[in-house]
Chain A
Amino acid sequence: MRKGIDRGSFRTYGWDGLIQILLIGNSIVMLTPIVIMFFSAFKTNAQIFQSPFSIPDFTNVKSLLRVWNETDFLLYMSNSLIVTASSIALILILGTMAAYAIARYEFRGAGFILLFFLAGLTLPLKLAIIPLFIQMRDFGLIDSRLSLIFIYVATGLPTTVFILTGFIRSLPNELEDAARMDGANEARIMWSIMLPLVRPAMVIAAIQNVVPIWNDFFFPLIFIQNNNLKTLPQGLTAFMGEFGTDWGVLFSGLTLSALPIIILYIALSRQFINGMTAGAIK
């Protein structure tokens, strides 16, 4: 008996040790590329090639300044901000409208409308890029931010409606009924009583949409040719060609592009993880 316990605890410790080693090893693999990217932003070409892993002199910000001053980095960044913010705002407005109607009112077709949105979850819109291109050309939206915003809204709505409908359904009826007794109209009930309660689900839905929209490369590649309208991922590829031989500048450009989302992620990691896996976890 005693022997069994000993062996058991040894096995547990050994097993846990192995797991700990695996986890530490994996975290090193995950973080090293990002650390090298960050370090290399402060190095010259010669330093990058001779000692890629050494800690740099962090006062050497020459490459970072070049990216800031000599490229359209800020322009691309602000374009990405405009497109992402407008898309998220529209997604939340339209998504809440649909989800609220489906979840709070009984009407014929409600189930069908929810199914309609759910079907959109799995459609790879990339494959419809030829008709989309012709459609946008007919609308005069090639080289316009609106083309991107409209597409992101259409692709973002299904998950948003899915998440918000589930959440709004779970809200209690009492508040709503009381307000109705007092003679408040439906719009007022929705706006000032129900929507404030929906905010946590809206945060999840917003985060779930922010990352793919902010990071998207495919749709700008097709619809945006004008340099003044390019988004950050798209601008980044152009700038990599331009500074192809100066690795310090290349790593600086990558670092500056990655920094906003990395900082946001570290600050809000729980919300990011919940938001981005929300569609995949029931």
Chain B
Amino acid sequence: MMSSKLTGRRLWIAALVVPPIAFMCLFLVYPILSAFAYAFYEWRGLVRGDFVWFDNFHRVLFEYPFSERTINAFKHNIFVFFALMVLQNGVGFILAYCLWRELWGARFHRIAVFLPVVLSTVIVGLLWKLFYHPLFGAVNASLRAVGLGSLAQPWLGQDSTALTAIVVANAWHMVGFPTLVFLAGMQRIPSEILDAVRMETESEWVKMSKIVWPLVAPSATVVFTLLFVGAFNWFELPFIMAGVDGNPHEATDVLGLYFYRTAFGSMSASAENFGPGSALAVLIFLFIAVVSSVITVRLRRREIQL
């Protein structure tokens, strides 16, 4: 009697946990493990050939024309990461501080700053592509309207500005996210601590740098890590705004685009090439995994438990 009840309970638990785990294994764990295996094989179209050890990695990292493109794209990812660190996380922190003061209208401003976050990257990309149009776009039109017509230029059409222009669109799209994560962190600071600080000093700067910034460290860890993963996975916005080749002249090429081109082909790299594509995916994956865990561990260390 007792044992049948126990098996019944076990079966019930298994019935609950097995289907979700099976789903995860089949469509998340298995593909990711396969991605590692695939990188060590030669591929002819969609057919797997011989085991070739590290050939694919060697090609992607050290052989023309792969290596130049890999390094070029990687540099752009680094630029994107640092630029968004300032424009998205930095601005987000300042906005969070402003909203935290709960001045008149703060509720409205909070809703406004998060509004673009719910839009799809496709809508944001297509919209900003129209805004950046050299002749008819709203960006140049506003410059002309305020008498700065000489600054009007083909933002997406020239090497010097294209990547920055896409980064700006990205910052507009996503700045609400770090803002509200930081805001939630600030709102969790106990008021006794803030009152105690107010007794000690009148300086907002001291309050911010010595008290608020260290106490929102958990929020900072999260948004920094997410931005890092996002910046090195960056694909959809440059794909929509600059095209799969990273136009103009690969000035906006990033690892995500380059990986997609190598794997599935494009105008410039005609056929799919799963070997080097898989090697690139593994390298990006390892890079993200290693660096983001280092970032997380190092940032965690400065977090203070309240």
A150 touching B110, Cβ below 8 Å: no
Q: How far is the CA of A127 from the CA of B263 in the complex (A)?
A: 11
A130 touching B281, Cβ below 8 Å: yes
Interface centre among B123, B184, B218, B229 (most CB of A within 10 A): B123
Please give the distance in Å from B236's CB to the nearest CB on chain A.
5
Any A CB within 8 A of the CB of B266: no
Q: Which residues of A contact B180 (CB under 8 A)?
A: 273, 277
A98 touching B16, Cβ below 8 Å: yes
Main secondary structure of the interface of A (DSSP, over half): helix
- Evaluate whether A247 and B136 lie within 8 angstroms (CB atoms) in the complex, with A105-B13, A122-B292, A131-B35 already known: yes
Closest residue of chain A to B262 (Cβ to Cβ) is A130
Please give the distance in Å from B216's CB to the nearest CB on chain A.
11
Q: Which of A3-26 contact B (CB under 8 A)?
A: 8, 11, 15-16, 19-20, 22-24, 26
Q: Which residues of B contact A218 (CB under 8 A)?
A: 235-236
B123 touching A130, Cβ below 8 Å: no
Q: Which interface class (under 10, 10 to 19, 20 to 34, 35 or more) fits B?
A: 35 or more
Please give the distance in Å from B15's CB to the nearest CB on chain A.
8
B233 touching A124, Cβ below 8 Å: yes
A154 touching B172, Cβ below 8 Å: no
The 0/1 profile, CB within 8 Å of B marked 1, for residues 119-134 of chain A is 0101111111111101
* New contact pairs (12) apart from A22-B94, A265-B114, A281-B184, CB-CB < 8 Å: A30-B176, A120-B24, A127-B282, A135-B31, A150-B27, A154-B28, A161-B20, A211-B118, A250-B126, A258-B123, A276-B114, A280-B222
Which residues of chain B have a CB within 8 Å of any CB of chain A?
9-10, 12-13, 16-17, 19-21, 23-24, 26-32, 34-35, 38, 46, 94-95, 97-99, 101, 103-106, 108-123, 126-128, 130-131, 135-136, 138, 141-142, 145, 172, 176-177, 180-181, 184-185, 202, 204, 218-219, 222-223, 226, 229, 233, 235-236, 239-240, 256, 259, 263-264, 274, 277-278, 281-282, 284-285, 288-289, 292
